[in-house]
Amino acid sequence: MSHPLPLNAIHAFLVTARHLNLTRAAGELCVTQGAVSRKIATLEHYLGFALFERHARGLRLTVQGAALLPELQQGFEQMVNATTKAMRHNGVIRLKAPTCAMRWLVPRLVTLEQQQPDLHVALTTTLDHHSQLEGFDAAIVYGSTPSGAIHLFDEAITPVMAANMRVPATPDALAAMTFLHPTCDTRDWQLWLTAQNITLTMARNQHFSTMDLAISAAIQGFGVTVADINLVESDLANGRLIAPFASRVKTGAAYSLLQRSPHHAPPFLSELAAWLSGH
């Protein structure tokens, strides 16, 4: 009996071959570098030859890997096109979005699908804020608004904290609290504090890999975080969080929606875009 074709390993190979970098491949696939390496090793074992040569600056395809790549790309694209075509007939829209947008996105998707039962969104989350469509029907991206994308909202940050915590009377009183950071650095907090003309010593700090994780920690009373006011609107409305200060500072980044051209779009994609953009 022949061994089953390792499709997940093939996908990992194709993504890694495009980036020639394990870190970027892992980010796109939403797995660890070690997981990507194991998937590639699985495919190499299946094939019986190495696909990459590793060197100081990253990866390089072997001669056999480079020869195999075009046909695998073509075959994988055919599978994506076939499944896309089948899903279009069933009104399924494949949407990719960064994890940090889930608090804003999911309630809107729930309401939309309740109003239009024939519409269904197959949601895939990613840690890559700048990823393009790449086989999806639509994608929410963070940063500058790409050409042709629909602007959804600008990022505007403000401190938020659990409602049962002692509310600081002034921004200076934040110094006594634990600062939760949505990134590995302090840039978001520094941006907000600078806008208030305040310099604070942040004695206690916790860093997270996404804003969503920092918000979740704030809800649990772990400390105070800066968060995009759009992402915490339901948490503020439901009393899970409070925003002790009125000041909101735009970071210069925005959330936008990329979508397929009308010729290749599945049913209801225009309705989804209009719903998310508020038009």
Q: Report strand pairing: 249-259 vs 92-98.
A: unpaired
What share of the chain has pLDDT > 70, as a percent?
A: 94
Element (H, E) at 272: helix 269-277
> What is residue 125's predicted lDDT score, i.e. its pLDDT?
87
Average pLDDT over the chain, rounded to an integer? 89
Q: Which backbone phi and psi does 71 adopt, to 5 degrees? A: -70, -40
pLDDT in tens, 116-173: 888 889 999 887 656 677 778 999 999 888 888 999 999 999 999 999 999 999 999 9
Q: Which domains does the chain have, with CATH numbers?
A: 7-85 (1.10.10.10), 88-152+254-277 (3.40.190.10), 155-250 (3.40.190.10)
The answer, as to whether pTM is greater than 0.85, is no
**Token pair in block for residue 200:** 């604070």
In this structure, are residues 247 and 195 in contact, taking their beta carbons and an 8 Å threshold? yes
**Token pair in block for residue 164:** 């049962």
> What is residue 227's predicted lDDT score, i.e. its pLDDT?
96
The rounded distance, in Å, linking the Cα atoms of 102 and 157 is 17
In this structure, are residues 248 and 157 in contact, taking their beta carbons and an 8 Å threshold? yes
> What is residue 108's predicted lDDT score, i.e. its pLDDT?
93
Q: Tell me the DSSP string of 56-115.
A: TTEEEE-HHHHHHHHHHHHHHHHHHHHHHHHHHHTTEEEEEEEGGGHHHHHHHHHHHHHH
The rounded distance, in Å, linking the Cα atoms of 274 and 270 is 6
Q: Say whether pLDDT at 248 is over 90.
A: yes
**Residue among 119, 154, 122, 155 at smallest CA distance from 139:** 122
**Token pair in block for residue 246:** 């009125």
Tokens 């602007």 sit at which residue? 151
> What is residue 50's predicted lDDT score, i.e. its pLDDT?
94
Q: Tell me the DSSP string of 17-61.
A: HHH--HHHHHHHHTS-HHHHHHHHHHHHHHHTS--EEEETTEEEE
pLDDT band at 179 (very low <50, low <70, confident <90, very high): very high
In this structure, are residues 59 and 20 in contact, taking their beta carbons and an 8 Å threshold? yes
